[in-house]
Structure 1
Amino acid sequence: MSRAFEVEKLGLVPYGPAWEYQKKVHAEVVAGRRKPTLLLLQHPRTITLGRAAKPENLLLSETQYRAQGIELFWVERGGDVTYHGPGQLVGYPIFPVGRQVRGFLRKLEAAIVQVAASYGIESFPTPGYAGVWVRKPAPVAGWPAVEEKLCAFGVAVRQDVALHGFALNVNTRLEDFNLIVPCGIRDKGVTSLQKILGREVSLDEVAERVEEALAQVFPAFAAKEVA
């Protein structure tokens, strides 16, 4: 399938080098030396804090995190605190978006909803909370259903081109989310494709489905945006 963007699959990459590479690709897209590019990768156990992050959403000290082999980074994306780790598919769509940041996020969410649907999972975005969620049946009859986040989002836009992106929990170690208040939200949970389906899911397969879904919601970019 001909796509409006290139795809690079980087494997498992420490957050620091991946962040630097992401900024290099971003500069090339801004300068018109490269097509819009989707980076797909995994990170070792890492916690990142966006522009809206509150220190109280870190439940341990930085020293305690590092003692457990978890790195911390304060970054320029939107949003609060989140976790990355093996088994999570991280996508950095370095796409020209102009000033349509909210519309860009809605398209990313729509693509992930489509990926979840391809596994028979009903998911949805929630106004006010960027992300894709699923509803878990209430533990007690008559109680409200529990919402759990399947995919987190956080982007930044510099010179009309986006960087950072999304983190889709595939076979992620969900216990590590207990070390933070994910996205600063205390009354919702976190889930993964593996937890919902009851089996390990191929990351390569999920990556292919993510590429296809993004190609559908981003069929082209305006010529002026990539000139």
Structure 2
Amino acid sequence: MIFKNDSLDPAAVFACATSLRDACDQSAKLQDLSLSELFQGMDQFYREAMRIAALFEEWACKHVVFDETEDVWPYLLEDKFGAACLQRMSVEDLSGFDAEDCPDVAMKLLLPLNYIDAQPRLPLDVKAINPVPASPFTHWRIQTIRCLSGDDNFEPMVYGDDPFDSEYEPSILALYGVNAEGLVEHIKDFDRYADAVAFVGKIAPGVEFPEEPVVKAQGI
């Protein structure tokens, strides 16, 4: 296969395709399905596997924070990519795999992702120490929240939640103050992370939020 994007790592693409092939083969056997019949021939199945592999690798090059991973990238993909894809969708639906599926698969792989101010936004949750000693808050917190369509009760969007879930309204960023007991108080909502950081910087001069926040699984 000729890669149109020179930045793609052929080893990573091959690892993704191999992992997906093996996972699909195992799933098909368990369900007594024929990959050849599902994809109108094995050649088409392999094309789909390579398409998905190249698509994910291209997405990962833009969104995964590789400096914060300890795994060898192709080895991780070969071990876990196929299973993560089939957690996202069934073998029969793989022909519909597109860029909207990549964030969910990446989070199933527990990858650290760079946060970008765009819709749909990833589940951000960052805290910073409050440098103002007289404040009732010991920390500030910026977190992605969203609500179900037709509802007005917002809930935190956590790592692993599908950013493209059609049951939810577009997400927003909420700024909270956190006291010594861990209780939170909602301060203000924002559309952009940079705006939230700028606002809290005015009421708490010297606060240090990361310029390029990273979306991580809890405990990682």
Q: TM-score range by the shorter chain?
A: under 0.3
Bigger relative CO (Cα 8 Å, ≥ 6 apart): 1
Whose helix fraction is larger, Structure 1's or Structure 2's? 2
Point out the structure with max Rg over C-alpha.
2
